[in-house]
Chains A and B, each alone.
Chain A
Amino acid sequence: MARPVPRITRDTNIEFIDERSGPRLVHYGTRFREVVLPRGTRVIHPNPPMEPLGNPLAAIRYALNHPIDADPLFAQLKPGMKLTIAMDDISLPLPMMVRPDLRETILTEILKLCGDYGVDDIHLIIATALHRRMTAAEIKRMVGNKIYNEYYPDRLYNHDAEDPDGIVELGVTERGERVRINRRCVESDLLIYLNINLVPMDGGHKSVTVGLTDYPSLKSHHNPHVMHQCHSYMDPRPEKSRLAKICDRMGKIVDQHMNVFHIETAVNNNMYGGPLQFLGKPEYEWNDFDRTKLQATNALLERMPEAARRKVFEQVPSPFGLIGVHAGKTEPVHAKILETCFAQYAVPVKGQADVVVCGIPFISPYNVNAPLNPLLIQVMALGYLFNMYRGVPLVRKGGALIIYHPCHEEFDRQFHPSYVEFYHRILAHGTNSYELEQYEESFARDPDYIQMYRKGNAYHGVHPFYMWYWGDAGRAHVGEVICVAPENERVPKQLGWKTARNFEMALDMAKDVVGKSDPDITMLKIPPILITDVEP
């Protein structure tokens, strides 16, 4: 990458640090750190939030009445029919959106329609796959009081991947992947899947084939062999993501056996609400008041205990705006929504970087209302942030990834019991997923973890393995991950990372890794979400 003249190019969201630039802000768990970047460092900012649809209700009704490659929803509703509505769980969107949640809004419309057409055998299923069961309070917040009071718990519940009678095997793909889906969904005359597409990896055939399935089916693609062939997870073209390719193959079997009406939505990246709104803007657009707010926020957060800090962030829901809604047949609907998603997230970038710098925020899809434990810090760095690209990775092969996170060795024992064992016992055997895979089955079949998944609010026993596999493509590509200022150095060590006391030290280590005294450095300003379209 040729070193350009330092300047800010606001139209492309690419900024180059010069002598006038101030420090740049990165997330540091539930706190922030300001980093003084070397002159010439490229900073990639997210696109500003797209303008939300002016009348979301009208857009939803239009989508239901004018679906793509399918009959309008009202034409598919008949008295006496069996209808199931499945929806994404609490892992989407992040952070939780301001009420009413999009799912409440759309469900209300669908249920109104069902009432008009005499459909009353309706079940609402939260497509948790092997994620934890959502609590009653979380479900209530998601679907709203009215729907909750009418349907919970008998007709509104979490998917159970371990229910011995709850799964039906629809068939096996030509490559031997078993397609096993929630029985109620399979036996329904119509399955409506209600999706919120926060990142391009979500939605499409993945919604049903992953969200409503079980461990034997997930094994087909949630394994190191497949993960190593995804470049990247966020590029759902079959030739780029083997995960997406397998889900498509399995989805075709679903379509042969089930009548699926897919509703996909896209939201903008307006994730900071209330007093944190200034964090959604690049630093060079901040005014004096924004800087004062940052100082006050930092001062407050630094004085609070970790649990209280986390609570503060959890209390500020995101004012996401609906920017797209389509309904109908899974594939064309997904294609339309992906266009909208990429319009919001894609940032064209020329050239890879030797060193990429980014901060890890307090939240991931798997720790809503819980601390970000070490395995999730790993998945955020190597699973998510690394994979936020199309084309080629932002960091070059063998490059260095400098991350900011305090790295506490803290686990939520109700939500993540098997993570604790994986972290302490399995990672002691090494970090190579192909070798760790041999322990997967014992976690997946562990009777305690299964009961905690089914009756408590625990992630399935096998889930920490998936989190580790998720980081595989990044681990294989990046030369070194260097964690700046961890408060518990044992964590990065256990994850196979290096540590540095400050940014200067991290940069010196990175120079050794890439073998250059003047490496190309790029800071990735996530969140809000962005996906780099990297031209080599």
Chain B
Amino acid sequence: MKAAAFYDVDGTLVSTNVVHTYAYYAVNVPSLRDKLKRTGGLVAALPFYAVADKVGRKFFNDIFYRNYAGMTEDRLHVLGEEMFEKMIRPRLFPTMLDLIKRSTDEGYRQVIVTGALDTIVKPLSAFLGIDDWVANRLEIVDGKATGRLEPPVLAGPAKALWVRQYMKQHGLDPDLCRAYADSSSDIPMLSAVGRPCAVNPDTQLKTAAHAHDWPVLLVGDKAKD
């Protein structure tokens, strides 16, 4: 293989995002009091998270993943697999599944580069037949999540750096490599490869895609007709 295809996950391969993921964990905590506290807190903080995401994806991650503090490691993994089956798998974009298949057939190495949690990405990658993946990992101390992410936190430029290092390590030609993402925070990652593609892009990414003549792929509800 001389080239790879790099995929973001949330909004690109699947219609869910990190908030959905946490919401699933929150409503599935065993204690009722904890459940109410976590789901209520999430709903109340949603406007704040929207603003935080505008400030920067890393800033958002730093704040958002604090919600996971106190959750046990084994529960995160068990629920991760359950969540994949119940929530992620039905929401995968069929167009992207077809694209991954064609891309694999064409000899591209399939790689997921995402800010989502490894507990979700692991079963997803197995299902999609992905060659390599990298995702954010929660810091675990004494079997419980601290609410912090293990460095390096994958977001924005950190994803681009990882992609560049990956291409170098595997002797891949950056001009031939592809990347797929939906958010303007992924512009650095898209810029690192020769063949970027914006999938259901947000406004800023759409503008960048038009400016650089990147292909724009609309999938799911955003696809025309």
Contact yes or no, A456 B218, CB < 8 A: yes
Please pick, from B99, B215, B223, the residue contacting A417 in the complex, using a CB distance under 8 A. Answer: B215
A450 in contact (CB, < 8 A): yes
Of residues 383 to 426 in A, which have CB atoms within 8 Å of B's CB atoms?
A: 411, 413-414, 417, 420-421, 424
B215 and A455 within 8 A (CB): no
Q: Decide if A135 touches B215 in the complex (CB within 8 Å).
A: no
Taking Cβ atoms with an 8 Å cutoff, the residues of B that contact A are: 5, 95, 98-99, 102-103, 106, 108, 178, 195, 197, 209-210, 213, 215-219, 223-225
> Which residue in chain A gives the minimum CB-CB distance to B213?
A420
Partner of A455, one of B106, B209, B219: B219
Q: Chain B contacts of A417 at CB under 8 A? A: 215-216
Are B224 and A447 interface neighbours, CB within 8 A?
no
Is A457 within 8 A of B225, CB to CB?
Answer: yes
Query: Which residue in chain A gives the minimum CB-CB distance to B94?
Result: A455
Provided the pairs A135-B225, A456-B218, A457-B224 are in contact, do residues A451 and B213 lie with their beta carbons within 8 angstroms? no
* Inter-chain contacts of A455 with B (CB < 8 A): 95, 217-219, 223
Asked if B99 contacts A447 (CB within 8 A), the reply is yes
Q: Are A447 and B102 in touch, CB under 8 angstroms?
A: yes
A501 within 8 Å of B by Cβ?
no
Which residue from chain B places its CB closest to the CB of A133 in the assembled complex?
B225
Q: How far is the CB of A185 from chain B (nearest CB, A)?
A: 21
- Which one, A133, A411, A445, A451, contacts B98 given CB within 8 A? A451
Taken together as a complex, chains A and B put the C-alpha atoms of A153 and B225 apart, in Å, by 9
The answer on a CB contact under 8 Å between B215 and A413 is yes
The A413-455 residues at the B interface (CB cut-off 8 A) are 413-414, 417, 420-421, 424, 445, 447-452, 454-455
With beta carbons under 8 angstroms apart, the residue of A153, A421, A456 that contacts B217 is A456
Chain A residues in the interface with B (C-beta under 8 A): 133, 135-136, 153, 411, 413-414, 417, 420-421, 424, 445, 447-452, 454-457
Which residues of B are found within 8 Å of A456, using beta-carbon distances?
217-218, 223-224
Total A-B pairs, Cβ < 8 A: 56
Task: Please list 5 pairs of residues, one from A and one from B, whose beta carbons are closer than 8 Å in the complex, sorted by A's number.
Answer: A424-B213, A447-B5, A448-B215, A451-B95, A452-B217
A27 to chain B, nearest CB (A): 27
B residues less than 8 Å from A452 (CB atoms): 215, 217
Residues of B within 8 A of A424 (CB): 213
Q: Give min CB distance, B105 to chain A, whole Å.
A: 8
Contacts of B178 in A (CB 8 A): 447-448
By a CB distance below 8 angstroms, the chain A residues around B224 are 135, 456-457
Please measure, in the bound complex, the distance between the C-alpha atom of A421 and the C-alpha atom of B214, giving whole angstroms.
9
Bound Cα distance from A457 to B216, whole angstroms: 11
Which residues of B have CB within 8 Å of A136?
225
A307 smallest CB distance to B (angstroms): 14
- A413, B98: Cβ atoms under 8 Å? no
Give chain A residues whose Cβ lies under 8 Å from the Cβ of B99.
Answer: 447-448, 450-451
- Chain B residue with Cβ nearest A450: B102
In the bound complex, residues from chain B placing their C-beta under 8 Å from that of A449 are 215
Cα A454 to Cα B5 in complex, Å, equals 20
B217 to chain A, nearest CB (A): 6
- Bound-state CA distance A96–B178 (Å) is 38
Nearest-Cβ distance from residue A165 to partner chain B, whole angstroms? 12
Bound-state Cα–Cα, A457 to B222, Å: 13
A457 and B215 alpha carbons, distance in the complex (Å): 12
Q: How far apart are the CA atoms of A448 and B198 in the complex, in Å?
A: 10
Taking the nearest CB of chain A, how far is it from the CB of B176, in angstroms?
9
A451 and B225 contact, Cβ closer than 8 Å, known pairs A413-B210, A445-B106: no
Chain B contacts for A133, CB-based, 8 A: 225
Interface centre among B95, B102, B108 (most CB of A within 10 A): B102
A residues near B219, Cβ cutoff 8 Å: 451, 455
Q: In the complex, what distance in Å separates the CA atom of A424 from the CA atom of B99?
A: 24
Q: Given A448-B197, A451-B98, A456-B218, are A413 and B213 neighbors across the interface (CB < 8 Å)?
A: yes
**Looking at the complex, which one of B106, B209, B217 makes contact with A451 (CB distance below 8 Å)?**
B217
Q: Is A447 a contact partner of B225 (Cβ separation < 8 A)?
A: no
| Distance A449 CA – B217 CA, assembled complex (angstroms) | 9
Complex interface: chain B residues within 8 A of A153 (CB): 225
- Nearest CB on B from A164, distance (A): 9
Q: Which residues of A contact B95 (CB under 8 A)?
A: 451, 454-455
